[in-house]
Structure 1
Amino acid sequence: MSDEACLDSFDKSERVFLIGDMNGKVGDRKVDGVVGGWGVQSEVDGNGSALVDLSVGRRLMVTNTFFQHKGIHRYTWRVEWRRDSEVVEQNALIDYVCVDERVR
């Protein structure tokens, strides 16, 4: 079942929480009432764009992005590998908690 179909199964009066590994990057650019200013600086990818669009349409807030976090706590995914003699790290925020704006 798609996220959209799942959300359609709820009555409009119910407050919905969408929580999980969305495997997308929503970036740090504010989207009024949906994405706050404390996301992770990155380019918005396809899954992140879909999550933002879904959140706009369903009036959900991507809560991870509304609060300031210490650098070490901002990421939900991390990998490091060696390239030649250099250790390369990659961090991302891909797990999200989205809540009905009425919860605010």
Structure 2
Amino acid sequence: MYTCDECQEDQNHSKYPVPVIMTSENQNKMLHVECCSKDKLLDRLKQISSAEILFYQDVIKITEELDQEKIKNFSEKYGTHDEHKLGIQIDFLNESKNHLGKLL
């Protein structure tokens, strides 16, 4: 259950089951899809895609030449297999924000 930070209504006032989560340096905002502007949605999609690009680039790096140091760095950045199984999410979007600036 969430409350939209834009219109202050709960999730039942949206025809979409999942909110848009807008991230900033200090906070996350939950918004109904209908309450988001086109620009906010595009910004969020850019953040997500940038984070995915970084993840896959890191996967390629550790698979090119496996060594314990690269695996350790990867686990520190994205979490271990056990953390993922337990549903613990590591927020690596902060780094992707810097990467997004380089892509644009």
> What is the TM-score with the length of structure 2 in the denominator?
0.24
Rg larger in 1 or in 2? Answer: 2
Higher relative contact order (CA 8 A, sep 6+): 1
> What is the TM-score with the length of structure 1 in the denominator?
0.24
Q: Which has the higher strand share?
A: 1
